[in-house]
Amino acid sequence: MNYNTTPQSQNIPRSVQTFLPQQYQWISSNNFAGDWLAVIGRKNDDSVLSKKFVSNFKQGAFKALPIPLPFSGRPKDVDPTQRRALSDFLRSDHARFWDSNNSWPAVFLTDTADFRGYMKTCYHQQCDNMDRVKPEMITFMGRTADALVAAAQSLTEQVCPSRENCKNVTIKGDNSTISSPSYPSEYPNGIECSWLKEISSSSGSQLLQFEDFNLEESASCANDFLEVSAGNTIDNMRVIDKYCGSTKPSTIRVPHKIVKVGFVTDALVSKKGFRITWTTPPQKPNSSSTAGKGVLCLSALLAVLIHVLI
């Protein structure tokens, strides 16, 4: 998937300004950057598919833009002048569904091919190769696949079963071990887990030692990730850090009463996962109370010596 945040990296067909003024305005206000996915469908015939996909696409740095074409039925039955104006939107296999006798609903998900970035010159050329692929492009493709799976599940009312239930767990005791579901086998896709531990003293700390760690690598850990958050109350917890990839994180000492470890996976790649030893180190004795005991002991010793001498 070609993803390009550079301003003016996106070209568009001339017909967009005439037939799709709202979409043209959005692309223009986005500085003609190629950081979005086009969801092309007929305005009425494909509206259910288009809306379902877009509603399941996590908008943010990656965007999905619906392109509702202003005609219904088969493209071959559309006025020739209008069909020529919209020809760039009919270049892929979706048009075969539309042009069938039953004119089946279908949407075209595209990065706009030769209208964006380096593909303006590399489309169907040797320079269109894996050397051009960047991590954010893989993430963009992953977001698209996630939305496609979610839309299909919603439309069919079917959910793919996970290999293991992933429950939210409250950790008790000073020493424990947590691991990703199915560890050391690959973890399931599409899960959200959390483990939470609360110690009695707000002046204490908790220690997270990573024994094993292997999650999917992604830009900004947008796909599969482990997230550690902490605070002295549930309401004031904040994220400490987010982890992904295969580099084992250093041991974390968290000086808070409550610590939460969250684990989220998307619908695509699975890895071995993680195993963490979670401990509560013993608190150091309070220096002021120790000093007081020392003074009392010394006073008692002097009293004994004086008594012996007398």
- Is there a single domain that holds both residue 196 and residue 148? no
Q: Could you tell me which residues come within 8 angstroms of residue 12 by beta carbon, excluding any fewer than 6 positions away?
A: 24, 27, 32, 112, 115
CA–chain centroid gap for 183, Å, is 21
Backbone φ, ψ for residue 82 (5° rounding) = -70, -40
- How does DSSP classify residue 282? P
Q: Could you tell me which residues come within 8 angstroms of residue 186 by beta carbon, excluding any fewer than 6 positions away?
A: 270, 271, 272, 273
Cα(283)–Cα(225) distance, integer angstroms: 31
Instruction: Examine residue 32 and state whether it is found in any structural domain, yes or no.
Output: yes
- Is there a single domain that holds both residue 128 and residue 103? yes
Burial level of 100, CB count in 10 A (0-12/13-18/19+)? exposed
For strands 192-198 and 258-264, give the pairing: antiparallel
Digit-by-digit pLDDT tens for the chain (310 residues) are 899 999 999 999 989 999 999 999 999 999 999 999 999 999 999 999 999 999 999 888 899 999 999 999 999 999 999 999 999 999 999 999 999 998 999 999 999 999 999 999 999 999 999 998 999 999 999 999 999 999 998 888 755 555 455 778 999 888 999 999 999 999 998 899 999 999 987 678 999 999 999 999 999 999 999 999 999 998 999 999 999 999 999 999 999 999 999 999 998 899 999 999 999 988 766 544 444 444 333 343 333 333 434 4
- Is there a single domain that holds both residue 192 and residue 262? yes
The CA distances from residue 23 to 8, 15, 80, 117, 132, in Å, are 16, 11, 23, 19, 28
- Cβ contact 200:217 at 8 Å: no
What residue type is assigned to position 193 of the chain?
A: C
Instruction: Examine residue 36 and state whether it is found in any structural domain, yes or no.
Output: yes
Q: How many domains does the chain have?
A: 2
- Is there a single domain that holds both residue 235 and residue 150? no
CATH code at 242? Answer: 2.60.120.290
Instruction: Examine residue 265 and state whether it is found in any structural domain, yes or no.
Output: yes
Please give the residue range of the domain that contains residue 175: 168-279
In sequence order, the β-bridge partners of residue 238 are 230
End-of-domain residue from the set 99, 122, 156: 156
- Is there a single domain that holds both residue 133 and residue 58? yes
- Is there a single domain that holds both residue 152 and residue 192? no
pTM of the prediction?
A: 0.56
Residue among 217, 225, 36, 35 nearest 135 (CA): 217
- Is there a single domain that holds both residue 114 and residue 174? no
- Is there a single domain that holds both residue 125 and residue 177? no
Cα(259)–Cα(240) distance, integer angstroms: 10
End-of-domain residue from the set 156, 179, 205: 156
